[in-house]
Amino acid sequence: MRHRFITFYQRTASDLKVITLDLSPRNVSELEQHYPLLLFKGTNPVTVIGHYIHVAKLEESLRQSPRSRRGRSSNSLPRQGEEICPICMEPMAPKDTKKLQCKHSFCKDCVEQAFSYKPVCPVCGELYGVLKGTQPEGGQMNCTIDPTSLPGYERYKTIVINYYIPDGIQKKEHPSPGQPYKGVSRTAYLPASPEGRAILELLKQAFNQRLIFTIGRSSTSGKSNVVTWNDIHHKTSMHGGPSHYGYPDPAYLSRVREELQVKGIK
């Protein structure tokens, strides 16, 4: 059960999944009551749209025998006034319910298990505590100043960031624990303007919280078990504009600040 939970929860709250099912109108009506956070559209087949964890829960239920599913529906449908836990999709008993400051409620066990993986609300993404990533340990982040300027920032010198993550063995938080992974060296650039220097300090904080890199599949080489960027975009070229991961790009600093804020780096 824990393995299935983590598989579901590792998908982000905004990750939608679409499936098609052959269902009778009566079955659709029952499922709409039991899965209020899913959207059921059309007939023969029915298109179901929703968050990955909710669609996966529906698919798991439908794999049961018809008799088992009918019994589950009659026993598990919420009574009037009962709330459904957005994680397990089951009615919540008042004594076992936990409401977060963002006003979203969950089964205590479900939200505690969710927070053990990532301390954010599974519905709205509000952060509770300090977010730690899966960036391999033992890496280095070094910064120097280049006297030349970046396009669009001709008044300023350039901050050169050198990242180094060595090869190693994956740990339990990685995709293939016990298997080797390939490290990486990356260079990125920021203008040495006041805003650029502020972003540099935020990137240092993100690096210390292991949020800059992760282990996964390379989008360029297609290789698995390699160190990759982790959703905080960097400019890896001084020139060429956005299409070449370079400058000029007037909106870049504000974009990367927003990406850092999502991870609690402010």
Burial class of residue 134 in the structure, from the number of CB atoms within 10 Å of its CB (0-12 exposed, 13-18 middle, 19+ buried)? middle
Query: If you count them, how many residues does the chain have?
Result: 266
Q: pLDDT per residue over 2-32, tens digit each? A: 444 444 444 444 355 668 788 888 888 888 8
Cβ atoms of residues 126 and 103 within 8 Å: no
Q: What is the pTM of this model?
A: 0.62
pLDDT for 145 equals 98
Average pLDDT over residues 183-188: 98
Give the model's pLDDT for residue 65.
42
Residue 164 pairs with which residues in a beta bridge?
Answer: 140, 185
Using a pLDDT cut of 70, give the percent of the chain over it: 85
**Tokens 């994956």 label which residue?**
170
pLDDT class for 55, splitting at 50, 70, 90? confident
Which domains does the chain show, CATH number per domain? 2-117 (no CATH), 140-262 (3.30.390.130)
Which CA distances in Å does 101 have to 58, 98, 128? 28, 10, 9
Average pLDDT over residues 233-252: 96
Residue 35: Cβ within 10 Å count:
19
- How far from 91 is each of 29, 87, 97, 131, 242, CA to CA, in Å? 18, 11, 10, 29, 48
Bin 224: left if φ > 0, else alpha if -120 < ψ < 50, else beta.
Answer: beta
Q: Which of 13-22, 188-197, 200-209 has the lowest mean pLDDT?
A: 13-22
The stretch 51-60 carries a mean pLDDT of 74
- Tens of pLDDT, residue by residue over 210-230, are 999 999 998 888 899 999 999
Point out the least confidently predicted range of 3-12, 39-48, 92-101. Answer: 3-12
User: Which pLDDT band holds residue 69 (cuts at 50, 70, 90)?
Assistant: very low
